[in-house]
Chains A and B, each alone.
Chain A
């Protein structure tokens, strides 16, 4: 056993050699009008030297930087034991709504599994439509069904425009409380043949990502 002790010691050091992050998940609740959020993942090198082979964010919405940069503004990829730094990510939210997870991937030398750093961003849904799809059975009764719309914001959102893509699904926008609550009532002309359509709504929101909305209406076979 004594003979193998140095071996076990060496094995322990190697297996613990890594870039140690304070956290690998950063959660951000973004405001409805925020376009860009940043998240930081501080780290420390423990065990032995760590070398980043590649770092990437597999989405054009997310960019990553390893900081601090070198004096010549290039990225430091080889990190000595005891050094500290941070991975900084910048998330452009575009049309996202709801909760989105985005990962930054660090591929490390001598380590098969990459390190994943996750940015979880929640962007509020201001114009809530329930459900997102209405369905009628093929050959079934062409009865009226309703989408319920509620504004989840600190100011009202009015519906400016509504349009349908298919004649088979005539609809009516009914105002329950102007700016706050609406109903979208749909009654298909026929359920005799399969059909699918969309109803598009446009609101007066000043925020682009909250202006356009769509719901689906379908006539389909009942699955056996």
Chain B
């Protein structure tokens, strides 16, 4: 019994050491969201491409519920969610104020939602394109991987 216990401890120590060495040599595990431009749907964009733009050339729009936006929304982002507990006209007003930027609208709007499962970002993007994009002169994108891609990038 004692021998088995010591054996288990030994296996645990060896595997922990191997994991530590792997971490030190190769770095932390890659949690990034793989994004192949060839797989993107219409209007979608990879985070790597967004990161390559000048910081003041795009506005982040958070399409998640308010409590998530308040918890960890991207700095400078504006909330525009179709969560039906919100006054959507009021959110639309706040979005336009931000996007208009004192008469020099952002040329690009990038919308993120909560991981893969949220259709909100696509719906919000379609609404912005239809209502404002042409007059305001901005392109509208949906971030591939949504919040998961942003969180992995910040990790």
Binding site for B on A (CB under 8 A): 56-61, 92-96, 98-105, 114, 116, 118, 131-135, 138, 193-196, 198, 200, 212, 214, 216, 218-221, 223
- CB of B119 within 8 A of CB of A118, answer yes
| CB-defined A-B contacts under 8 Å, sample of 28 | A58-B64, A58-B113, A58-B114, A59-B82, A59-B120, A95-B87, A96-B82, A99-B126, A101-B119, A101-B123, A102-B119, A103-B119, A114-B117, A131-B131, A131-B135, A132-B131, A133-B136, A193-B103, A194-B100, A194-B102, A198-B96, A200-B89, A214-B92, A216-B132, A218-B136, A220-B104, A221-B103, A223-B107
Binding site for A on B (CB under 8 A): 64-65, 82-85, 87-89, 92-93, 96-97, 100, 102-105, 107, 113-120, 122-123, 126-127, 130-132, 134-137
A117's nearest neighbour on chain B, judged by CB, is B117
- CB of A94 within 8 A of CB of B84, answer yes
- CB of B113 within 8 A of CB of A95, answer no
When the two chains form the complex, which single residue of B65, B93, B126, B132 contacts A59, counting CB atoms closer than 8 Å? B65
User: Known interface pairs A61-B82, A133-B135. Does A116 touch B103 (Cβ–Cβ under 8 Å)?
Assistant: no
- CB of A59 within 8 A of CB of B83, answer yes
When the two chains form the complex, which single residue of B87, B107, B116 contacts A116, counting CB atoms closer than 8 Å? B116
| Residues of chain B lying within 8 A (CB to CB) of residue A194 | 100, 102-104
- CB of A220 within 8 A of CB of B100, answer yes
- CB of A133 within 8 A of CB of B132, answer yes
CA distance A194 to B105 in the complex (A): 11
- CB of A220 within 8 A of CB of B82, answer no
B113's nearest neighbour on chain A, judged by CB, is A58
